[in-house]
Amino acid sequence: MPRADAAPAAERRIVYALYGQAMALTGKVAEAEDLAGRLDGGTPRTRDPADRAAALVIRAAIESSFGEASKSLAHAQLARDLVAGSGDPHLHYWAAMALGIAARTRGRPEDAMANLHDALSLAEAADNPFRRSSAFYQLSVLQRELRNAPEALAASLAAYRFAEAAKCAYAMVNARMAESAVMELLDRPARELAAMQEALAIARSSRSTTAEAKALINLADIRLRRKEFSEAANLSRRASSLAQSLGDSGLAATSKANLGFALLGLGRAAEGKRYADEAMAEYERAGAITEIAELAGEYGRSLEQYGDFRGALAMFHRERKLHDEIALQARQRILLEVQEKYESEKARREIDLLNRENDLKTAAIANQTLVQRIWWLLAALFALSFVVVAVLYRKLRASNKLLAHKNVELSFQSSRDPLTALYNRRYFQNFIDAEIGSPARPGREDHDTARALLLIDLDHFKETNDRFGHALGDAVLVAVAERLRSTLRETDMVVRWGGEEFLVLAKTAPDRVDEIAARILRAVAAEPIVLNDKVIRATVSIGYAPLPLPPARTPLSWDRAIGLVDMALYMAKVNGRNRAYGIQRLKGDGDASLAAAERDLERAWKDGLVDLDVHYGPLPSSVVRLEPRDARPDAPARAS
């Protein structure tokens, strides 16, 4: 670096890019951003595109270190576009690697695969074993996420072979840890453990503190899964000590979490909870919502194994709440994008409308001139003027008809989900607003207003997306929507509630609601969904209730009704999925029973304040159902 400013531009760019990426990896964000700014200086006319690409590579590394995969992806994509014709193999390799890693993190496996193979080709052309090892390691991680175990294993072994050729101990450790992860996928525990122990030995022999801490954390995780809690605790303590010496809060938090789970397994509940809570607090300080949700789920499972079911349930609720927050943030981002698009379209329509108005005004002026000229012409030209007016009138009628047709199309599009063609959430909200302003609303003593509200969630949909990709995931949503349409009546309202959730408002008697829920379970799970050469077996979980609630026909606001069926849906999820939990009636004091059910539906069921009914969906072929211990109120269902 001290000699870089005096070097030729190409050499200075390489040194800056290397040093900037190193600063980003070690958390020195200000220094990395300063280097990017020095590369990115000047005006657009005088700035070298290769310097601009090097700055973007550094910024992609900065955003990746913060976990901002979308921003890292944008920087890497722009860098890749800039270096496409530069002929600089260094920048081309760095941009391809950054784009591949960011695309994998963002759930775009096709883009990730293409760019990582491009990076591998560039490394092979340069005959650089370290770069080949790095590319093979990332390909192993990607193939493992796609559940392609043979390809992931071959890539991890190639990563180790080239890391050994490069004499890079850190890359060798990464390769062995990747191999261990593949062995877990292949259910080969002996080799999984051996590969991780070898990674730890290499890290220690090379005196790489960071690699040793990572290997200890992964080894502790293996011991935890094998319920070897004493060994897991020892490994976690050593990893925690190394993480603290490095000042790496992420590694320290993960070590504390593993230590807490190990102590819970050893029966040392108070101490274990303290470490697990400290890990949660460190993740919260970092604002890592996704990691907090994953840790809450693992914490809940550890508490459940220890026997602390109340604490486990609290953690599961917290996990659900965090996932809801993540989904809400995603929806808000989508809504902002849609709003921006809508505003742009609105501005374009207004411009088009002004242009049409100007055209009409121009035509009106022309018509007025024509009328004046007609008065000046002889009576023999009157017939010709009549023909002209008739033609203009026909054109105006055609324009009005086309405008009315476009308005109908716009109204349809605004009320429908673009993927499934079901009603969207906005349409349902407008329906609710109309119901509130109408005498016919839930709770009226009228047979014609008896309805059922069902909230439906597609089981294991994230796994379907991870395994088959988002395109096939969208196709599964379309197939399930079609099965719902064919199962329900045309008078029933089917709504795409959000993500993999659907809402049904059926006009039916209270004693027919169970039949509707059972029919939906059968319709979705009875036959697999066949898409191209993929066979996907889908099931749903359902929460439902009649409106108004028997026996006193208790009226409910729409918000309270949706909240109750959402709680019933959550019970169906945590008690094994592929089933429906339905609220049948309130018991005792209707208002008190309803308030208790809204606070905790499962507790109200156990206390006999509300009657629930459970229906199980048919088992897909080659699937064995794991039933909860009991379905009675005095023996609560256990989450599978």
258 phi-psi bin (left φ>0, alpha ψ -120 to 50, beta other): alpha
Same domain, 601 and 460: yes
Q: CATH code at 62?
A: 1.25.40
Least confident window among 103-117, 135-149, 213-227, 310-324: 310-324
- Residue 322 is assigned to a structural domain of this protein: no
Same domain? For 508 and 452 the reply is yes
| Within-domain flag for 21 | yes
CA–CA dist 400, 542 (Å, integer): 46
Q: Assess whether 389 and 517 both reside in one domain.
A: no
Report residue 96 as tokens.
């391809």
- Reported as a single tens digit per residue, the pLDDT across 39-67 is 887 655 556 888 888 899 999 888 887 76
pLDDT at 122 over 50: yes
Rounded Cα gap, residues 86 and 106, in angstroms: 27
| Domain total of the chain | 3
Same domain, 367 and 443: no
DSSP alpha helix (H) spans, 26-108? 29-39, 49-65, 69-83, 89-105
Tell me: pLDDT of 443 over 50.
Answer: no
Q: Which pLDDT band, with edges at 50, 70 and 90, does 342 fall under? A: low
- 389 in the same domain as 366: yes
Helix (H) / strand (E) containing 249: helix 249-265
Query: Nearest-CA neighbor of 323 among 504, 181, 498?
Result: 498
What is the pLDDT at residue 628? 40
> What is the pLDDT, as a whole number, of residue 401?
74
pLDDT tens-digit map of 239-294: 888 888 877 777 888 888 888 888 888 888 888 888 888 887 776 665 555 566 66
447 pLDDT band (50/70/90 cuts)? Answer: very low
CA distance 602 to 314: 13
In the chain, the percentage of residues whose pLDDT exceeds 90 is: 34
Residue 100 has pLDDT above 50, yes or no: yes
Beta bridge pairs of residue 582: 544, 613
| Domain shared by 456 and 549, yes or no | yes
Same domain, 5 and 79: yes
Q: Cα separation of 78 and 80, whole Å? A: 5
- CATH code for the domain of 532: 3.30.70.270
The DSSP-derived string for 515-549 is HHHHHHHHHHHSS-EEETTEEE---EEEEEEEESB
Q: Are residues 532 and 564 in the same domain?
A: yes
Q: Of the ranges 259-273, 305-319, 409-423, 521-535, which one carries the lowest mean pLDDT score?
A: 305-319
Q: Is residue 530 domain-shared with residue 574, that is, in the same domain?
A: yes
Q: How deeply is 375 buried, as exposed, middle or buried, from its count of CB atoms within 10 A (0-12, 13-18, 19+)?
A: exposed
**Of 348, 380, 415, which residue sits at a domain end?**
415
* pLDDT tens figures, 1-20: 889 888 888 888 899 999 99
Range with top average pLDDT, 115-124, 356-365, 384-393: 115-124
Same domain, 449 and 400: no
Tell me the pTM. 0.48
Cα 13 → chain centroid: 37
Structure tokens at 311: 């604490």
In a domain, 182, yes or no: no
Residue with the bigger pLDDT between 306 and 364: it is 364
- 437 and 408, same domain (yes or no): no
State residue 635's pLDDT score.
38
Position 72 scores a pLDDT of 84
Spatial separation of the C-alpha atoms in residues 215 and 200, rounded to whole Å = 5
Domain extent for 395: 362-415
pLDDT for position 374: 85
Answer yes or no: is 210 within a domain.
no
Q: Mean pLDDT score of the chain, rounded to an integer? A: 82
Q: Is 574 domain-assigned?
A: yes
Q: What average pLDDT does range 381-399 have in this prediction?
A: 72
pLDDT of residue 152: 93
From its phi and psi, is residue 227 left (phi > 0), alpha (psi between -120 and 50) or beta? left
Residue-wise pLDDT for 563-591, tens only, equals: 999 999 999 999 999 999 999 988 877 78
pLDDT at 637: 40
Point out the domain boundary residue: 110, 127, 144.
127
Measured from the Cβ of residue 605, the count of other Cβ atoms closer than 10 Å reads 23
513 shares a domain with 479: yes
